[in-house]
Structures are given as structure tokens and as C-alpha cells.
Chains A and B, each alone.
Chain A
């Protein structure tokens, strides 16, 4: 079955420290992967995507994600977290019917 999993409901990190939000996926064929962010009472905003090419993808607001085919993972990273990065983060993968499957979301809490 095609799926995407975000194993952590919440990630806590201190401001200035590096952050990682984890995502693993299961699809047949080549994966097309996305990260979206949702701030309180707002719609989702696109951060970055992996279609093909370099395994390290750079996106908006200083975020990047590392695609690892052998581990079927697409973890979101940032070298130095900001309090303003606190939000709900969603990983998504394209299924073989052309729809996006979203993970359940990970709340990132960055403390000053």
C-alpha cells in the first residue's frame, strides 16, 4: 500500500539549534515528495519538493530536505531553528493515481 509516515507527533528544539522533522514513504516507482507547512489558522504553504536529481533539496525559509532512496526517507532539516519556525509540518508523496498522500503532520515547537 502506498503511504507516508511522520513518526513524531511533536519535535521540540531550542532556538539556534538544528532541527530535523522525519518522513518515510512507501510508493511503487519513483517517488515525488513534498513538504508543506501550516501556521495556526492558515492554509498550507509549499516549502520544497523532490522530483529527481540532487538528493539534497533546498526550499523556502532556509529549509532543506534530504532524499534517501535506500531508507525511503525524506527528512526536513534546518541548520538553525527560529521561534517563528514553530508550526505544523506535513510530508506528502504522489501516489500512482496522481494524488497526494499527506502524512499526519508533525508539530514543531522552537523555544527561545
Chain B
């Protein structure tokens, strides 16, 4: 199993550009999550999904969108990049509810918006 994979690993965007961060898992997990990690701030939940076709907002969803058309994939879309979106983004998955059970994290995408 590859686990949770994320692409790209690094990206530099200009203000106003858009991009999609890719996330895939091969563990047949129902739950998937997107977090952002800022220095000294811990992780903040952006969006999550409890299964294909179902998504919901987390703590910091503004400026982002997600979709979940398959169990495996959970892409995160940035439409109009802003410097405040400079961060490290982590995708995670869990077989059962990840607020009670272990979440498996991808290696992260480091995004810089200039």
C-alpha cells in the first residue's frame, strides 16, 4: 500500500492564480480530511469528507473548494490564491471517524503564494 499520497510536494503560485492539490489513498478509507499547518499554530481543518459524494466545511474553508467523486481521491482547489494561503497542506484519511480513530497523513504539499 502506498497509503496517502499528495502531489505536488512544492508549489509557488502568484497572487490570483489557481491550482488543485491532489490527494489519493489506497486503503479504502471512508473519511478524508484536508488540513493546513502554519508555523506555531498546529493543524487547522479545511474540509472533510465522510464518503464519496459527501463533503463538509471545517474550521477554515474560505478560499478553498473540494470534491469527492471516488473513495480514493479528494482534491483541494484554490481558486484565487492569496498570500494568506501560504502554508503546508496535509491530506489525511481514516477508515472510521477520525475524531475517534487513527488518521493516516500524507507527506504534505508546501505552497507559497507571492
Which A residues contact B (CB, under 8 angstroms)? 9, 32, 36, 41-46, 49, 51, 90, 94-95, 98-100, 102-105
Q: How many residues of B contact A (CB 8 A)?
A: 24
Contact partners of B43 in chain A: CB under 8 A? 44, 90, 100, 102
In angstroms, Cα B43 to Cα A95, docked, is: 14
Most B CB atoms within 10 A — which of A9, A41, A44?
A44
Q: Are B100 and A104 in contact (CB under 8 A)?
A: no
CB of B37, distance to nearest CB on chain A (Å) = 9
CB of B32, distance to nearest CB on chain A (Å) = 13
The secondary structure that dominates the B interface is loop
CB of B97, distance to nearest CB on chain A (Å) = 7
* Apart from A9-B40, A49-B102, A94-B99, 12 more pairs, CB < 8 Å: A32-B99, A41-B108, A43-B90, A43-B107, A44-B90, A51-B100, A94-B100, A99-B45, A99-B48, A100-B43, A102-B44, A104-B41
Q: Are A98 and B105 in contact (CB under 8 A)?
A: no
Contact partners of A95 in chain B: CB under 8 A? 99
Most B CB atoms within 10 A — which of A43, A44, A100, A105?
A43
CB of B86, distance to nearest CB on chain A (Å) = 17
Sampled A-B contacts (20; CB under 8 Å):
A9-B40, A32-B100, A41-B107, A42-B108, A43-B92, A44-B43, A44-B90, A44-B103, A44-B105, A46-B104, A49-B102, A51-B100, A90-B42, A94-B100, A95-B99, A98-B99, A99-B58, A104-B40, A105-B40, A105-B42
The secondary structure that dominates the A interface is loop
In angstroms, Cα B100 to Cα A51, docked, is: 7
Contact partners of A105 in chain B: CB under 8 A? 40, 42
- Residue B4 lies at the interface, judged by CB distance under 8 Å to chain A: yes
CB of A49, distance to nearest CB on chain B (Å) = 7
In angstroms, Cα B96 to Cα A32, docked, is: 15
Residue of A nearest to B40 (CB): A104
